[in-house]
Structure 1
Amino acid sequence: MDSTGPSPSVSTAAAPALPGARRALFLRHLHQWHWISSAICLMAMLLFAFTGFTLNHASQIEAKPQVVREKATLPAPLRTQLEAFAAAHPDAKLPLPAELSDWAEATFPVQVRGVRAEWSEEDAYVALPRPGGDAWLRMGADGQAEYEKTDRGWISWLNDMHKGRNAGTVWSWFIDIFAIACVVFCITGFLIMKYHAANRPSTWPVIGLGIVLPAVIALLFVH
């Protein structure tokens, strides 16, 4: 008879994760979110940093606007349509009728379909603001149409993109996504520094300087 007793059963239940293992897993996730958010922010951060500098020195950066003006005469049927529409909708803000929009886009370098015009009994005025410049189109009841575009250069274009000025809905969405990615980037970076602070004594003084310095400058030098 075998004198040895039955072997003790080995528990198949998973052992609880060690605190060090949980810390390493959390830190790995932090690093992952940190590099993902930094990759999303990379080009936009460079763009916004550069345009932050150009906006801060806008008065020193000269821009010579280039103005383009064009004129044309409305065909008689369209002139009649314009007169009738203007008489029926004085002081209204409505898009140009389809025929007038088609003629304008074929005659001038514009996209006016669906864009609201300011109507009076004498004319229809379409404002066409754009990043880095401006433009407008006017169609008069006298049959004369005028188009003007002002281009202030690529620095002005970048500055307007920084502010989201006249850049459209999609760019506005991009700025929102970029802002969220920046928040994730900053928070994960802060937590990563917190985990490594014990081995890097300068971490907290540098973080404190980054928090206090802007507040001190704003309180003492901004009036």
Structure 2
Amino acid sequence: MQPPPVRHRRKPALKWRNWWLKQLHTWHWVSAAISLTAMLAFAITGITLNHAASIPAHPVTVDREALLPASLRPLLAHPAAKDAPLPEPVASAVKAEVGLDAGGRAAEWSDDAVYVALPRPGGDGWVSIDRASWKITSEVTDQGWISYLNDLHKGRNTGRAWFWFIDVFAVACVFFTLTGLVLLYIHAKRRPATWPLVLGGFAIPFLLAVLFIH
């Protein structure tokens, strides 16, 4: 009888290496998938921001006017503070009359008027209530979709939801970059150009900043 074939057990070090390599590949493609769309959008808007002065803008401004109902006027007689928001019934009336949601925002109270700034991505807006004539005046300016995307890139006037989205996107990019770096290290022996390219990716922006930004 022939002896049974000898089964070679995989070395523990090789087993752990393959396990970690699999984990790195998994985290790398997952983080890439999560951040792909946003990374492409941020890269494109980085170009549009860098050339903002060369891209023509055609702002469109819309003005509206209305009268505050008489039943709500006493609510504006005595503000709780100089930056108190509009009372909820007044804010609801403003939204119904001119289409702007001014509720919950800090207002500027003076003897003559109440003013609420309503900045937005890609434009601006405001609403004012004259405390003598009770006329509601509003203005909305739209700078166009490129300006809108640029403001999303900067997180300008975008609110809390976008604020947290940028944080989650940034974390995904960190995972994508660090797992990619470790994969570069693992495969560097078979790819001699790896570390010169990595060094160049660091050195080029560093030298540009040191030599040309003053």
Q: Tell me the TM-score normalised to structure 1 length.
A: 0.88
Task: Give 5+ residue unaligned stretches, structure 1.
Answer: 1-14
Task: Give 5+ residue unaligned stretches, structure 2.
Answer: 1-8
Asked if residue 146 in structure 1 is aligned to residue 137 in structure 2, the reply is yes
Identity of aligned residues (%): 47
Runs of 4+ that moved beyond 3 A: none
Asked if residue 52 in structure 1 is aligned to residue 46 in structure 2, the reply is yes
Asked if residue 67 in structure 1 is aligned to residue 61 in structure 2, the reply is yes
Asked if residue 85 in structure 1 is aligned to residue 78 in structure 2, the reply is yes
Measured in 2, the distance between the counterparts of 1:123 and 1:206 equals 61
Measured in 2, the distance between the counterparts of 1:17 and 1:92 equals 73
Aligned to 1:4: none
Structure 1: which amino acid aligns with 2:78? F
Aligned to 1:133: 123
Measured in 1, the distance between the counterparts of 2:179 and 2:99 equals 47
String of CA shifts for 1:11-31, please: whole Å, max 9, x gaps.
xxxx89521221111111000
Measured in 1, the distance between the counterparts of 2:32 and 2:184 equals 15
Aligned Cα root-mean-square deviation (Å) = 1.4
Aligned to 2:168: 177
Measured in 2, the distance between the counterparts of 1:110 and 1:137 equals 8
Aligned to 2:85: 95
Aligned to 1:156: 147
Q: State which structure, 1 or 2, has the greater radius of gyration over its C-alpha atoms.
A: 1
> Residues 183-222 of structure 1 correspond to what in structure 2 (within 5 A)?
183-222=174-213
Which of 3, 7, 13 is the equivalent residue of 1:19? 13
Measured in 1, the distance between the counterparts of 2:78 and 2:107 equals 12
Aligned to 2:4: none
Q: Tell me the TM-score normalised to structure 2 length.
A: 0.91
Measured in 2, the distance between the counterparts of 1:58 and 1:111 equals 29
Structure 1: which amino acid aligns with 2:50? N
SS of the counterpart of 1:44?
helix
String of CA shifts for 1:196-216, please: whole Å, max 9, x gaps.
011111111111111111101
